[in-house]
Structure 1
Amino acid sequence: MPKTQELYLHPTSPLYLLKKNNMLDHITETTLLLDEKKCRQNIEMMAEKAERNNIRLRPHFKTHQSAQVGEWFRERGTTGITVSSLKMARYFANHGWDDILVAIPVNIRDMALVNELAAKVQLHLVSVNIETVQALTEQLQYPVNLWLKIDTGYHRTGILPHSHEQLDAMVALLEQSDKLHFTGVLAHDGHTYKQSDTDAIRTIHHTTVFLLNLVRDRFKARFPDLKVSIGDTPSCSILQTISGVDEIRPGNYVFYDLTQQHIGSCHYSQIAVCMACPVIAKHPERNEIIVHGGSVHFSKDSLTGADGSTIYGRVVELTDTGWSEPLAGIEVVSLSQEHGTIRASKALFDRYQIGDLVGILPVHSCLTADAMRGYTLLDGTQLEHLSGTGR
């Protein structure tokens, strides 16, 4: 049995009376905890790196999607942000942000919202095809900044850097528009998330920077102020020196998660979110603990363990000041819609009783935060999330 001051105990436990004034005692359901101190440290780390490299930090807010967390960035000097949808842009515009890049290729079916935003903020949009540029040219009522997204190896979407005919046609159309300002070229190195070797991540980063600059150089004589922007947490976290770009757009670093730790982007101590899951069943014949915490809370993202097993989360010990690093001999081995299955050693299995809380670090904090629709700070304060506001 661990020290009683470190383990949450259900009120029915005989040891419960030894615990007083613990915020965890008031948690009644699956809850996403947020450590503000760790979060602010992560914000500070990336802001300092950007300043040291003389580049602009335009953090991606899709991970936290919270007006209150956004204020922590503002306090550190952030002025421009990245979002992943027009709806998210409107949410943050309504909370005072006025320089917003929507990093997904613009949805031309929602031109009404595009014009609504362009009327009140410095709006940056992304295009990967000439049809979008044409639609914007015809339907925009207010000026916007347009970035061309380049496919530098991720192959999700984007213009191939050597597609000169396509690029030339899009830029020619941009030159004719009085509403579109050709601002720069950008990329997202999503393929760094599949790496766990820092040299491979550096290679991906340097290749992307090289290709983006090739595209910029093609048009620089006509557009001397073109910018280069990249955005992925692994390269922005691992690299200490970042050159050849004007702007970085990492997002996940605000919370980090098990995926980033596996890649090498962070240490366990930097993961700023943790799920508190009630124990609802125990099965001693197979040393499995069932918690209320399933795919509707975490998503079904997973990692492959050193032994080839599939891991859906790592168990930590909750305390009244946060949580420990992952415990050895216990891990989340499966998720269904509402249930999480934890397999544990006999000693760890015996620690937990029905009604106790189990702390679990998420594999993917962005999806976990989106599913949970809000946060609880370690002092019990509640923070909102866009998906829980109805806006």
Structure 2
Amino acid sequence: MTIVDTDCNDFNIPPADKPDLFIIITNPGGATIYTSPVATNTDVPKTFFLNIPLGNGNYGIEVFDDELIGTEQCGSVNFNQTTTGLLIDGQLEVSVNIIHPITTLNTLDSVYVYPIPDAPLLSFESEEWCEGDSALLEVTNYTGGLQWYVAVFGESQPIAGAISSVLQAQTPGDYWAVYTSGDGCTASSEVVSLSFYTLPALPVFSNDENLLFVTNPANLPLSYSLQWYQAGTAIPGATDLTYCITGEGSSDFSLEVTDLVTGCTNEYNSQSTYDPQADCISGSSEEFAAQGALNLYPNPVFNELTVEMGDMDSGIVELAVLNGLGQTQLQFRVEHPGGEFVYQVPAHSLLPGWYVLLVKSSDGTWIARAPFVRAD
């Protein structure tokens, strides 16, 4: 400890007017445990080197000046095991330096480092699926100790109950499997990002006097293909917006649309009955004229077939040319300003034979049809 400053001195006996300092240290019980020798005529700061083990509680330091006619108390301060800094009592300033011994602990233990298991290997057919499909994901190198996870919009979570090696996913997201070994070590598989595309709209069709036609082509994908079926069997060459029924009786017809961008398909089914009194391929010119005042010329035709009709409302007019099997050979969409309708159909690309021209108005209704012959 060090006496930094004190006002004790022997001013009555110059030149020996410096104090004769000594200290007394008491334990927490008040008993004296140390009395230092007297430091005669000493200057401050004055350091006393001690080696006193400290226990719990407050200790006391009393500072005295030993004079010829007795002792003068310069002041007293208290300290404990954690005391730091300067201790002050009036003019007395004392600092203590408490040394805390370093305790060394020796211990022995064993550390086991287990190997990281192999990552789960995933098998899957594709990352792109259609709405309603089930994507099969399978871990091929483990049968147990697995947990499947999915992340949607950045939030990952375990899939409840998904602990087998096979997972059937039906929603988009990032999927992966985590394997935990018997030692508690884990390894993760690659992440598979599954996409499920929306199905194209149902290709709803109607029957107008044996002519099956898509009622709203605008609902079809931008890039598509069509296939007509009868009783579940694909009709060869029937891949257009229309199909003409030629058989007797009733039958189940269906139309499948394929989105050529996503590869997804959708199918519409309807029971249709053949009407022997109607014929979307042939008929008398009087019948056709009565249905829409449709005039075709020249007929037979070699190059261009002129189509004329009476007054029509403005809008989109659709024309379709069908062959004798009811297969669409030509299709046109014409922006009509209103009034008399006139249009030239390029017939030179048709093979020689019998054909029928169908006209659909802007509201989507088939309003007229008439036969013509492509001359040889």
Which structure features the higher share of strand residues?
A: 2
What TM-score does the superposition give when structure 2 sets the normalisation length? 0.20
Q: Which has the higher contact order (CA 8 A, sep 6+)?
A: 1
What TM-score does the superposition give when structure 1 sets the normalisation length? 0.19
